[in-house]
Amino acid sequence: MTGQGPTKEPPVQGYADSRFLRVRDAFEHNFATGEELGAAFAVYLDGEPVVDLWGGVADRHTGRPWQRDTPVLTYSCTKAITATVLLRLAEQGAVDVTAPVAEVWPQFAAAGKSGVTVEHLLTHQAGLPVLEQPVPPEDFGDLPGIAARLAAQPPLWAPGTAHGYHALTYGFLVGEVVRRVAGTSVGELVADEIAGPGGLEIWLGAPDDVVSRAARLSAGDRFTRPAAKSRVRGGPMAVSEDPGPGGDPRYAAALAALDTGSLMNRAMGNPNPNLLKGGANHPLVMAAGWPAMGLVTTAPGLAAFYRDLVAGELLGLGTLRDAVRRRVRGPDRVLMLDSSFGLGYMRPALTYPVPGAARDTAFGHTGLGGSLGLGDTRHGLGMAYTMNRLSQVITGSMRAYRLVEAVYRSLGRD
């Protein structure tokens, strides 16, 4: 037949079990509406793969297609991995999460922090969400050096009295505790004890061959200054720009996102990947192994991490149940929204939006721009969503929410 161009490759590839066809529909919807560039979604149910989908392009400049094994930087999805590493050490008796950090890191007691516990670090209560001294790019790989800067700082609030998202500092703090008790980095323990034995495609400190095939992150629409009776769209975390009677905390969060001097932007801006060409796409960022935001993974790899976690293979189930117990819930001093945390794991809240059926059982972590990892022991689920078009929302995304909702609906849970 003449007059036709070459047939285009279908934008969505992969597999969805017949019980989960609505998940494929939701994944295809994200592409059909133009919200995706490249993305992947994977789900395990009771240890078995039931969804493994991918599509789009890994690099919008070259048109390189997204493959099943395309890795990508997933920002704060990393925090759940880091928490698991520390909790494994706690199970072994190497560290007590209720004890002061200074017991294993004496220098940390400086500036009035002698009473700060490891639990305070894991639950974002330490009062150290900001690195006050700028970290130059040549020091990005010196994790103990960055941690030493934090050890010298006073807290911004009395530790244990409030919580505020430690966007980057969480990793340097928890990572230094791990290094002090284990004699090695979080990334090395991930490789040796989690990724290697399980054959999981997760890297905290990505090698050159992984960096070379990683998807390239691209910015989506950005926040604009609020105007009355308009909306910044973005899904579950859409920010209302008309506060209405009584105000709307999402409005305050949007204003904080626009204010370069806000605690939110200070917490997320140092160390600053944008000092490097290509920002977070720079090989140095992916290789540095920052334990708060450096995870490079595939969707099947991150989903398999949660599969193994809910099966009791990475932590004892008693340890996991205690770790996901809500320690804090309510207004977050950094994100300006309600957030909730167990020991390093996010729990459902405005900052971790999930459908009603998952609100009592889901745990995991979001990543800046929209990526998501989620486990659910009651429903036997492990799932992950990865993408390279960064959403404009502060945390969570409608793209991920649609997929998670479709999973629970497929199980007859609304």
Three state DSSP letters for 248-291? CHHHHHHHHHHCCCCHHHHHHCCCCHHHCCCHHHCHHHHHHCCC
| Token digits of residue 186 | 């979080």
> Which one of the listed residues 18, 76, 391, 397 is annotated catalytic?
76
Of 394, 400, 324, the closest CA to residue 87 belongs to 324
Quick one: the chain helix, strand, coil %, rounded to 5? 35, 15, 45
| Token digits of residue 377 | 């022991």
| Token digits of residue 361 | 């059982």
**pLDDT at site 262:** 86
**pLDDT at site 259:** 73
| 76 is known as an active-site residue | yes
Of 265, 270, 306, 324, the closest CA to residue 123 belongs to 324
| Global confidence as pTM | 0.91
| Token digits of residue 116 | 């700060």
Per-residue pLDDT of the chain in tens (414 residues, 90 and over written 9): 344 443 354 579 999 999 999 999 999 999 999 999 999 999 999 999 999 999 999 999 999 999 999 999 999 999 999 999 999 999 999 999 999 999 999 999 999 999 999 999 999 999 999 999 999 999 999 999 999 999 999 999 999 999 999 999 999 999 999 999 999 999 999 999 999 999 999 999 999 999 999 999 998 654 333 333 333 333 343 333 333 334 566 667 777 777 778 898 999 999 999 999 999 999 999 999 999 999 999 999 999 999 999 999 999 999 999 999 999 999 999 999 899 999 999 999 999 999 999 999 999 999 999 999 999 999 999 999 999 999 876 666 899 999 999 999 999 977
Q: Can you point out the beta strands (E) in 168-217?
A: 202-203
**pLDDT at site 395:** 65
- Number of C-beta neighbours around residue 193 at 10 A: 15
Cβ-count burial of 22 within 10 angstroms (0-12 exposed, 13-18 middle, 19+ buried)?
middle
pLDDT digits (tens, 9 = 90+) for 82-121: 999 999 999 999 999 999 999 999 999 999 999 999 999 9
**pLDDT at site 235:** 36
The percent of residues above 70 in pLDDT, for the chain, comes to 89
**pLDDT at site 10:** 54
Q: CA-CA distance, 271 to 332, in Å (whole number)? A: 21
CB-based contacts of 395, cutoff 8 Å, min separation 6: 237, 335, 337, 351, 352, 366, 368
**pLDDT at site 137:** 96
Task: Please say whether the beta carbons of 146 and 166 come within 8 A.
Answer: no
CB-based contacts of 308, cutoff 8 Å, min separation 6: 194, 198, 200, 314, 382
**pLDDT at site 253:** 73
* Element counts in the chain: helices (H) and strands (E): 14, 16
CATH no. of 72-213+286-299+312-379: 3.40.710.10
- Domain residues of the chain, as ranges? 72-213+286-299+312-379
